[in-house]
Amino acid sequence: MPKRKSLGRGLSALIPEGTILVDERGFFFCPIDSISPNPYQPRQDFSDAELTELANSIKEKGVIQPILVSRTKDGFQLIAGERRWRAAQKAGLDTIPAWVRDASPSEALELALVENLQRKDLNSIEEASAYQELMQRFDLTQEALSAKIGKDRSTIANLLRLLRLPQTFQQDLIQNRLTTGHARVIVSIESPSVQRTLRDLIIKKALSVRQTESLAKKLQTQPKSQRIEADHYLNSLAKDLQRSLGTKVTITKQGKKGRIIIEYYSDGEFDRLIDRLL
């Protein structure tokens, strides 16, 4: 593998002399409008309130830590520092301090994902998605990825399992309605209806992970044949309602109680369903 250029003395080879002023510390002030975002950014949740707070800090003290970019034919692409870049835009800056990393597109992608995985504020779904992206893009096994990023293989495996959860459950994780510990208990359950029941009780009763584990065992003590039969019956009823109403219907049951969820996707469809039900 060819040796990568260092960040300091290598800058002169990366940036044509006279076009960008390089600071004595090795970074340069990059025009903000010449930077494109990282298309493989693992972090998806950028709080507007936090960006505003950071922008106010930047207005007062400037950008303390340079961002990391790679050179492209059209300018630069972010590798790391998207929050700082967004906040600098919000603060009205024209330039931002940046390091240049001489990297091929695949190396830039790997750097971006690995750097973001080292952050402490990625939620578990973002982290799991980043692991999956690395493995798929670079044809890595869990063992190879473990060695590359310095994470235990079992940690990677447990997080990847969370991507098996329904999207609604993943959103619960992202929005802190469920913790990673809760989600690990839920994903270990085979029955979708038991998963849904457990998820609802966790949120409604603010159960701890230990309480969740205990409840999960109780919910699964019912003979498997009975659970399968009950799930099949509820799924059959839901399909009948879907055909009748022309929209997605979900039925969940907990003891003698339960929910029938009828979804709609526009104001017109809402009016149609109300007319039908009334």
Fold (CATH) for 11-104: 3.90.1530
115 belongs to the catalytic site: no
Mean pLDDT of the chain: 80
Q: Which is higher by pLDDT, 190 or 233? A: 190
Residue whose C-alpha is closest to residue 253's, from 213, 214, 217, 226: 226
pLDDT at 161: 94
Tokens read off for 102 = 């001489």
pLDDT at 226: 53
Quick: pLDDT tens for 118-171: 665 678 898 898 888 888 888 889 998 888 777 889 999 999 999 999 999 999
Q: Which is higher by pLDDT, 35 or 109? A: 35
As a whole number, mean pLDDT of residues 15-26 equals 46
Quick: pLDDT tens for 170-189: 999 988 899 999 999 999 99
Tell me the C-alpha distance between 43 and 160, whole Å: 16
Tokens read off for 135 = 């493995």
Q: Which residues contact 153 (CB under 8 A, 6 or more apart)?
A: 142, 143, 146
pLDDT at 160: 94
- pLDDT more than 70, % of the chain: 79
From the candidates 17, 60, 82, 115, give the one annotated as an active-site residue. 82
Quick: pLDDT tens for 59-72: 888 888 888 888 88
pLDDT at 122: 73
Tokens read off for 180 = 């990673």
* Domain spans, the chain: 11-104, 168-221, 224-277
Residue whose C-alpha is closest to residue 89's, from 155, 172, 13, 30: 30
Most trustworthy range by pLDDT among 25-29, 137-141, 218-222: 137-141
Quick: pLDDT tens for 223-274: 555 555 566 667 778 888 888 888 888 888 776 778 888 888 888 888 888 8
pLDDT at 26: 63
Tell me the C-alpha distance between 32 and 105, whole Å: 20
Tell me the C-alpha distance between 170 and 127, whole Å: 12
b/e map 116-133, b = 16+ CB within 10 Å: bbeeeebbbbbbbbbbeb
pLDDT at 228: 54
